[in-house]
A and B are shown apart, each in its own frame.
Chain A
């Protein structure tokens, strides 16, 4: 199997929010990277996890499946899961797969964090 070409960096922000900056290709092969990013992001203080897809280059159906696994983990910890930076193409895929009903989508980081502050 090819090595995943993705990086996932975690930023902890005030108010119990953590942002995961995703850059590269999201496929099922990068599940270990996503789950380590989640472990780094989801401390006991974290109430909200925000995925930054601005650097997303490619995603296949395996990548979408992996997001469901992440969603289950956040639900279990009573954490909210949100996303921003999706291009029109990937936003439509979120709508088609009805992932947008479980993962709140924002235009940019500012609106995602603003909703976080008020949520």
Chain B
């Protein structure tokens, strides 16, 4: 049994079983999503979530390519607290993304367990449709986990913390490319990712009054080896499926119109 100090028991309060006490005293209990086996997209977002409904979550160990840790940071100065930054970021996450990219999260903001379809600009003018799952959220950080088919099998953590110079916001991506095709495309995707997250963090900084934000990027290769047994992930490749979905659009439109 985990050895943790629980709250003082008031007179007459029923003594909790060990398991109940464990659950009731965890301060991270509401921060984590509850377990899901496959993702479900709510009806309002089902159309945008065509590439994620029914998919499993996919962490770095379920991916294919090298394991990389990519960190983007921006100084926000001493005026704003980490809680204020993360509160604002969570309240309207998609509004900080570069134009043309769509995040369809819940209107209530970032909540553990939420499934959000996304559509991001990919190479060749293609819009890549996939999504993210909100794995964790507290008042100074939140983490997304990606589904099968996403370009990265990853955990993406957004956090803010106090340092000597003031508050610093960061996006930390622990990722492997999902399959061999995305691994081949990584040099191009890396450039696009850099542009995407630098613009996003700069937008966050501008929203709290930083006039000329400077976003720093740092990449570490944690594991050079590729996980070859996961090459079959290509079956779920959201890039291929997005193109097929686009090509099938006329047929879907005809079908929805029904017989004349």
Q: A-side interface residues toward B, CB under 8 Å?
A: 1, 23, 53-62, 64-65, 68-69, 71-72, 75-76, 85, 87-89, 92-93, 95-99, 101-102
Contact = CB atoms under 8 A, between A and B. Distances in A.
Contacts of B172: 65
A62 B36 CA distance: 20
Given A58-B26, A92-B35, A85 B2 contact: yes
Candidate in B36, B136, B138 with the most chain A CB atoms within 10 angstroms: B136
Contacts of A102: 61
Contacts of A68: 59-61, 67, 174, 222
Interface in B58-97: 58-62, 67
Nearest to B18: A87
Interface in B17-60: 19, 22-23, 26-29, 31-36, 56-60
Contact of B59 (A56, A75, A98): A98
Contacts of A23: 3
Interface of B: 1-4, 19, 22-23, 26-29, 31-36, 56-62, 67, 135-136, 138, 141, 143, 145, 155, 157, 159, 161-163, 172, 174, 222-223, 225
A1 B28 contact: no
Contacts of B222: 68-69, 72
Nearest to A72: B223
B161 A87 contact: no
Contacts of B157: 61-62, 65
B135 A55 contact: no
Contacts of A93: 32
B220 to A, nearest CB: 10
Given A68-B67, A96-B33, 11 more contacts: A55-B3, A57-B2, A65-B155, A69-B222, A75-B223, A87-B19, A88-B22, A95-B35, A96-B135, A97-B145, A98-B58
A89 B26 CA distance: 9
Nearest to A98: B59
Contacts of B27: 58
B67 A54 contact: no
Given A1-B163, A85-B2, A61 B141 contact: yes
Contact of B141 (A54, A62, A75, A89): A62
A10 to B, nearest CB: 19
24 contacts: A57-B2, A58-B26, A60-B31, A60-B141, A61-B135, A61-B155, A62-B141, A62-B157, A64-B155, A65-B155, A69-B222, A72-B67, A75-B223, A87-B19, A89-B22, A89-B29, A92-B32, A92-B34, A92-B35, A93-B32, A96-B35, A96-B135, A98-B59, A99-B59
A46 to B, nearest CB: 20
The 4 residue pairs across chains A and B that have the minimum distance between CB atoms: A61-B143, A61-B136, A72-B223, A96-B35
